[in-house]
Amino acid sequence: MTAPWWQSAVIYQIYPRSFQDGNGDGMGDLGGIGQRLDYLAGLGIDAIWISPIYPSPMVDFGYDVSDYCDIDPRFGTLADFDALLAQAHARGIKVLLDFVPNHSSDRHPWFVESRASRKNPKRDWYLWRDAAADGGPPNNWVSDFGGSAWEWDEATGQYYYHAFLTQQPDLNWRNPAVQAAMFDVMRFWFDRGVDGFRIDVLWHLIKAESFPDNPPNAAYHPALGEMHRVLQLHSTDQPEVHAIAAEMRAIADSYGATGRGDRLLIGEIYLPVDRLMHYYGRERPEMHLPFNFQLIDAVWEARALAALISTYEAALPPGGWPNWVLGNHDRPRVATRLGQAQARVAAMLLLTLRGTAILYYGDELGLSDVPIPLEQERDPRGLREPGLRLGRDPVRTPMPWDGSVHAGFSTAQPWLPLNADWPTRNVARMMQEPASILRLYHRLLAIRRAHPALAIGDFALLEADGDVLAYERREGAQRLIIALNLGGHPQRLALPRDTTDCRLLLSTLAAAPLIESDGLLLRPDEGVILAA
């Protein structure tokens, strides 16, 4: 059998509010995404992952779902989605949706019924508990957005649990009726032709049945945000979650023209590597790709990255496929963390490591976090603890397309400010600049597509000194060497002794590096791909 499509894929995450406005209201939508499919096809990506587009009060910008089987009017209609899906598939682009199973909106009909009375048939669809002996919350669990994770409901005299906002009550995944309803949601979208899901906060789905207190976090500091005051020992990553993940996988695998299933499940799981690996499945298959976020938090130093990559590769279970990501809608952008020069090197790293690569919209332009004035802040994460500036708005700003009004994103004032350098850092301008990071991404994606060794080949680290991270990728007779200078000084890499003739495929810098018979001279902040 050939490898499934997603193993060699590059997946492009779209935050729909900020990608392209198709109807002139200042906010992105499905019609806008459709307008930019040719750009995405030309870039060379294989699939798009669209952050939530379901009906929602938008308290958490779509992660508070009030109907799992429809499209929010702000983004369009089900017919618009079907059209987008068909247009994407016609261009060879797969479509993944964000699935938000841990919690719904408090305006979802299920929760409206659940809170109507203690005797309502859907009462047990959510997590209700009596007050503690002192009248306070049932335990010490803390919301990820700060404050107690329990909200008092005066009408029925109980607390309900919310891992995030009070308007996002957690579903009770121990209830078989909840499981059946949510599995039907997956089937609804698979039946429409969706190619997979990114599953939001998968490790949160099951809570310890007796709801004991979480232990205090000895390393807690207020600057981290209140969610870190306790360790989420009992409120996340419970053993029973794996049976649910396995059932999700069984549903996904039941679809697909190949008969073996070609629908992809990516699980959002922020856990140490050893626990992350459990979500590939031990007794039954679970996630195709448990999200690997290590590069987002990594110390950007050659030996540290080499150890990180080696440890991750070694931890993969038999048949487990790796994945890598540099950023997403919740975390600072790579250009902000590393600077523009190293953002180019990071792009080469992302697209030459073994495994599926996930690219966040705008990173191909080198977008940085956009400072948001307090009066324009929209994200509830930041508004809950305003002094800490934890809001995610800076990484969700509109995509700059050209030099026209509002950067071609909209004919109206965008919902969030544009990047200040949008007149020069936009798609149209950077496509005309041979040395731009956008053109670098184009070349990287073209080389990855042309060389199977980069997508599915074997991986081996090479010995390197100083700031150099180097490795080989091999597939059949194809052998590539990748060398990345993570520092600001020239470096020399000794090439393997069995390489007699190396040909440069790509450098992150404009001119070619110096290749000698036994070594490679790397300039500061340079990455290269050699064919050996």
> 136-175: buried (b, 16+ CB within 10 Å) or exposed (e) per residue?
ebbbbbbbbbbebbbbeeeebebbbbbbbbbbbbbbbbbb
Is 196:48 a contact under the CB 8 Å cutoff? no
CA separation for the pair 135, 148 (Å, rounded):
14
Q: Give φ, ψ of 344 to 5 degrees.
A: -70, -40
Say how many C-beta atoms besides its own lie within 10 A of residue 233's C-beta. 13
| Strand extents, DSSP E, 297-429 | 323-325, 356-360
Q: At residue 449, what is the residue type?
A: R
Q: What is the DSSP string of 253-284?
A: HT-STTSS---EEEE-----HHHHGGGG-SSS
337: CB partners within 8 A, 6+ apart: 296, 300
Q: Calculate the CA 422 to chain-centre distance.
A: 24
Is 268 among the residues known to form the active site?
yes
For residue 403, CA distances in Å to 370, 395, 424, 515 come to 18, 21, 8, 40
Is 209 among the residues known to form the active site?
no
CA separation for the pair 54, 104 (Å, rounded):
11
Q: What is the DSSP string of 186-204?
A: HHHHHHHT--EEEETTGGG
Closest by alpha carbon to 528, among 482, 491, 487? 482
Q: Which two tokens stand for residue 372?
A: 């948001």
Q: Which two tokens stand for residue 353?
A: 């490591």
| Catalytic one of 21, 200, 364, 525 | 200
Q: Give φ, ψ of 302 to 5 degrees.
A: -60, -50
Q: Calculate the CA 438 to chain-centre distance.
A: 20
CA separation for the pair 362, 352 (Å, rounded):
19
Q: Which two tokens stand for residue 343?
A: 């953002």
CA separation for the pair 385, 223 (Å, rounded):
10
For residue 315, CA distances in Å to 306, 309, 312, 318 come to 14, 10, 5, 9
| Burial grade of 91 (CB within 10 A; 0-12, 13-18, 19 or more) | exposed
Say how many C-beta atoms besides its own lie within 10 A of residue 190's C-beta. 19
| Burial grade of 183 (CB within 10 A; 0-12, 13-18, 19 or more) | middle
For residue 72, CA distances in Å to 64, 346, 409 come to 12, 35, 20
CA separation for the pair 82, 60 (Å, rounded):
25
| Catalytic one of 268, 286, 525, 526 | 268
Which positions are annotated as active-site residues? Answer: 200, 268
